[in-house]
Chain A
Amino acid sequence: MTHSRQTPSILTGLAPQRIGVLLPIQSHSLWPRTDVYEWLVEDLRRNDKVDLLGLVYPFGIVSERHLLECPETFASPICRGKRLDQEAALRTRAWLDLYGPGYERFVLPKYGDMMGVWSRVVDGHPIARRVRLVPVRRDRWRDSTFKLALEKQTR
């Protein structure tokens, strides 16, 4: 599989510098401004290189600003299905192709509604080399070991 459309950052003269931390928002146990979320990201917020992003089924990668400004769109439960898996994959891949070159690395928990879609999207894609998956126990976000592992991957 080729990915010639993705412009290598070396050609644009811009070295990828940002670090994207992708948190699975759809589980609703994680949401910006909630206690557990803020506890988890408190040190990440102090890192100027880190962008906090949501991985939301079926909308793909969503900025934290969008989550906070438009929570109503993400509040309704959405039934999974092939059609929405497809849209989630296309949106995630499109985002990675357009904005991924600006990122040195993506860090995300190895858990969440989007994991299957994510695996399909990055499989064989150059960005896969820049992905760091951090193990987490199911929905156990308030876990110091996980928090430290997440921070370590963003240094």
Chain B
Amino acid sequence: MRIFPDTPITIGTMAVARLVGIEKVPPYLVGRYRLQPDDSIEFTDQVGALQGHFGLRYEPIFGTWASLVIPEDRDDVDLLIGIDTRFGRAMVEAGEDLQIHPPSLISETTVRSLALGYLVSARG
């Protein structure tokens, strides 16, 4: 079972998130999504208004968080989705016990909800 959804995920009317990598950052497993804007000018305006909020963790639900970061090597914005490995393991075991086998542990809806929640929260 995959941990992170690898299909393109529409984040509101702002951008599409594409999974570009998975990193271990103990105690988390982190999925890195590249945000590809629908409208680059509007996107730059919206993201520019978030200065000061990059790198902060937004964690409204147990075991899973989101963060927006600017990679060191590119002038882009990445969405990070982190899952606590202990919680993730418990979810995998729950899947075995309940005979539930989703395509990925975290759904596209959760990634979208966390990203939009982060953006709304950051805009205040």
Instruction: Give A residues with C-beta under 8 Å from B.
Output: 1, 3, 5, 58-63, 66, 69-70, 72-74, 76, 78, 83-84, 86-87, 89-91, 93-95, 97-98, 120-121
Contact = CB atoms under 8 A, between A and B. Distances in A.
Interface stretch (B26-34, B40-48, B101-109): B101-109
Given A90-B95, A121-B94, 9 more contacts: A3-B97, A59-B60, A62-B62, A66-B60, A73-B116, A86-B102, A90-B91, A90-B102, A94-B87
A93 B92 CA distance: 10
Which of under 10, 10 to 19, 20 to 34, or 35 or more describes the interface residues of B? 20 to 34
Which 6 A-B residue pairs are closest in the complex by CB-CB distance? Answer: A70-B60, A73-B117, A94-B90, A93-B94, A72-B120, A73-B60
A1 B98 CA distance: 9
A69 B98 contact: no
B60 A87 contact: no
12 contacts: A61-B62, A62-B61, A66-B60, A70-B58, A73-B113, A76-B116, A90-B102, A93-B98, A94-B87, A97-B93, A98-B90, A121-B94
Q: Is the interface of A mostly helix, strand, loop or mixed?
A: helix
Interface of B: 58-63, 86-87, 90-91, 93-95, 97-98, 100, 102-103, 105-107, 109-110, 113-114, 116-117, 120-121
A59 B95 CA distance: 15
B60 A62 contact: yes
B61 A93 contact: no
Contacts of A87: 102, 105-107, 109-110
A97 B90 contact: yes
Nearest to A61: B62
Contacts of B121: 70, 72
A60 B100 CA distance: 15
Contacts of A3: 97
B86 A58 contact: no
A3 B98 CA distance: 11
Given A73-B61, A90-B105, A94-B63, A120 B117 contact: no
